[in-house]
Every structure is written in C-alpha cells, then in structure tokens.
Amino acid sequence: MGDDTTGGGAAGSTAPVGALAEHATPLGTTEPSGPFPDTDGLDALLGGAQVVGLGEATHGTREFFRLKHRLIRYLVLEHDLRVVAIEANVPETLAIDEYVVHGRGDPSAALDGIYFWTWNVAAVLDLIEWLRGFNEGRPVEDRVRFYGLDVQYTTGAVGHLRGYFETVGEPVPEEIAAGLETVDDSGRNPDRDENPEERLAAGKRVATALRDHLDTHRTTYVERAGERAWWLARWQAAVIEEATAYRKHRVDQTDGDTAAMEQLLERRDRAMADSVDRVREFEGGPVAVWAHDAHVNRSRHVVRGTDATSKPTGGYLADRHDTGYVAVGFSFAHGSFQALGETAEGGYELRAHAVDGPPSGSIEARLDALGESPVLLDLRRAAEDSRLTGWLDRPQGTFSAGATYNPDRPTQYVTEFVPGEAFDAICHVTETSRARPLGDDG
C-alpha cells in the first residue's frame, strides 16, 4: 500500500488524514446485527433522507453486502424505513416481496428467480430473512416492502399481467393478448433474440393499450383485487414500455458508437430513478436503493474502455430530491470479490478475483490511511472543511468492477470521480472476501 499521507489524486490534490478523521464515523464491524459505536454521525447524515442510495464498488463483495444490510437495519429500526429497492428487474422481485411481507414462498428460489447472479448470495438472503423476521406480526401497512428497480426484460411483466387478469376475473382483452405474446422476451438478451424487430414494434403499442384499459376499468378492478394489485399491474405496463425502449437501444447500438451507448445508459438509469419515485409515491416514506456505485452516485455513469458517460440514477434522484437524496459509495483496500471471468474457451464463468492493494493516490488509499475499518466518511460535513477543499473538488481514482473482471488489466477498473460531487458519504472497509453464492458451501 505504501506511504499515502498526502493522498494525491489525478490533480495532485491532498487530503490530510487528521482532517478526514474528524468527519469519519467508525462502524465497528461488518456484522449486520452488531451495535454501532456511535450513531450521531449516521443520524445527521441519513436521518432526514427521503432516498438513500447504497452503492458498491463491486457486485461481488461480501462485506459491502453485510454493511448495506447493517445500514438498512439501522434505517428500519431507527428511522422507519419501510421500502428496500434493488437493482434487479421489477416483476421478478415481487416474489421476494411476497416472502418478506407475507412469508409465502421460498426465499432462495425467489432470489434465484430474478436471474441476477449478483444478488443470489448468502449475504442478500440474510437480509431478506431479517426483513421477514422484522415484519412478522406487524400490521401489514407497517411492514418493509421489497421492490426491484430495473427494466431490462419484459417476460416477468407479461406473466404478472396475465395473472392479474385472472385475479380480476377477466380474460386478457383480445387486442392486448396477441401483443403480450409477441412482446414476451423470455428473459433473453436482444443479441440472442430470434425476432427482435417484431418484439420491439409491439412493445409501445401493447403498453399503451394496457394503460388505457387499466385506467378505464380501474374502479372495477380495484373493487375486485385491491388498489395495490391495480398499481402493480399498471407498473408492469410501464416496465414493458421501458424495457422495449432499452432493448431497442441495444439492438441499434454498434461498436464504437458513443452516442448510442450514452442513450442506452441514460434510458436505464432514468427508468430506475422513475421506479424509485413510483414506489415513493405509492408507499410514502424513505426508500433505500441497493445498486452499484456507478448507478447511485450523483455525477456520472462511465463505461469502462469507452468515452461514453451519462447521468446516473443518483443524478436524477438528486435533481428531484436535492439534499433529500443521500448517495453512499463503497470502497475497499484489498481482498477478494466475485465477478465473471473469461475462460480459455472464450466463455465466462463466475469466479473469485483478488486485489492486493488500493490504486496509488486513490480514494480508497486515502480512506485506508485513516486506520479504521469499517468506517463511514461524511463528505457533506467534509465539504465545510477548508483543509479538504483540494481533495473533495478534484477528480480522484477509485476501483470499480461490475459484472466482469479481467485480472490481467486491473488498471482498467479505476474510475475517476470528484468525491464531493459524486457521493455524500463513502463507506470503506480495508479487507474483503468473495460474496458466497447460494448453494456454495466452500
């Protein structure tokens, strides 16, 4: 790790360790049920938040997931948080909500059913089980809800809508039924879709027809199945429209087309922000958003190895909620995580990867110099400290890995952020380990 007392970033800025320490809150442990040494700093930062974005520098770090679980517990118990929303497709996560709220179904199967390997791990299941335990015996209206935010696929929405029409005792309207059949992507990515053009053409048409039908029959359907069921069905129409638009960007995209890549990023991030606000409007109260740092930060979403950059989900939420949105990034110094790695045959497999130290001059090198782990640095308070101005307002590198990782090119995974613009706080842990996939006893 070396001597990093000056904390130089891309612009050669400095961040005195003593000054940073004055704005840091020790968290004591990554154990989700462990007590906090001091909650004053957490209360000041998170207590009045409308939306809390909980990020992660990788999609496969056990300690990040356990710390996010811990912070969600704190928000539920101390600040009446009643909604957790995760970076996963909206309709598929409703099976998790059914378990969390009502205890119905198998939580492991529900996690597996969202087809996001990133969350199909023991640490996320632990959170789901804790939420179920918290909800047990409470009035339904005071139970924590669990929703997805993402809109990449249509198949879950199609299945949900078919089930909804059965619930209200009506056949799927003729003008909608054929459209649903066409628009169902069966969970396939566009590059594996044998009939993308017809599917894309049907998406907006069937979404509009669904909205019109549901709005026209709202009173009848609410009487038969309730307001929540109608609201969820209406949301699925929006999922079909947004997923279709997102998939069209993917189909139209060509290698090296920066503008098309930026449109793709923007469509997805704006749709996830819309999902947050849709939930807030219906449920009321604060929402915890579980996603990657690339999404929850306020400033920019960057695609590694390209010039593409766009406004992230957190940027839209910050525009809409101002200081009511709190973005918490996550960093680590060394250890392991899981991500897809390329095989000798040219395919990909999920495996553990290791990082032996923070990049020189990076955000995590600076935070690791505090000598405290885990720790939360309040950047809002730090912004008022003139000693930190040169560090907070200039680009700093930070390690960031998504679904894939190439251990032969670690420097490609350093993304630059202006700390004070991107995040309101950063949660740092010195040493990490791979998130353990469900069913992996190793």
pLDDT of residue 441: 55
DSSP string of 216-236? HTHHHHHHHH-HHHHHHHHHH
Q: Is the pLDDT of residue 1 over 50?
A: no
Dump pLDDT digits (tens) for 227-243.
999 999 999 999 999 99
DSSP string of 53-89? EE--SSSSBHHHHHHHHHHHHHHHHHH---EEEEEEE
Span 125-142, mean pLDDT?
98
Span 395-416, mean pLDDT?
93
pLDDT of residue 261: 87
CB within 8 Å of 371: residues ≥ 6 apart: none
Rounded distance, CA 432 to CA 380, Å?
Answer: 26
Dump pLDDT digits (tens) for 142-190.
999 999 999 999 999 999 999 999 999 999 999 899 999 999 998 887 7
Dump pLDDT digits (tens) for 365-392.
999 999 999 999 999 999 999 999 889 9
Query: Average pLDDT, whole number, for the chain?
Result: 92
Residue-wise over 103-134: b if at least 16 C-beta within 10 A, else e? eeeebbebbbbbebbbbbbbbbbebbebbbeb
User: 14 falls in which pLDDT band (50, 70, 90)?
Assistant: low
Dump pLDDT digits (tens) for 189-231.
776 666 677 888 889 899 999 999 999 999 999 999 999 999 9
User: 2 falls in which pLDDT band (50, 70, 90)?
Assistant: very low
Ranges of H-type helices in 253-343? 258-283, 293-296, 313-321
pLDDT of residue 88: 97
pLDDT of residue 351: 95
Tell me which of 268 and 6 has the higher pLDDT.
268
| Domains, the chain | 1-81+287-442 (3.40.1660.10), 91-150 (3.30.1870), 151-285 (1.20.1440.30)
Q: How crowded is the C-beta side of 302, counted as CA atoms within 13 Å?
A: 21
Q: What are phi and psi of 247, to 5 degrees?
A: -65, -35
Span 329-336, mean pLDDT?
97
Count of positions (residues) in the chain = 442
Q: Are 68 and 31 in contact (CB under 8 A)?
A: no
Report the Cα 270 to chain-centroid distance in Å: 13
User: 303 falls in which pLDDT band (50, 70, 90)?
Assistant: confident
By the 10 Å C-beta count (0-12 exposed, 13-18 middle, 19+ buried), 78 is classed as middle
Span 70-80, mean pLDDT?
97
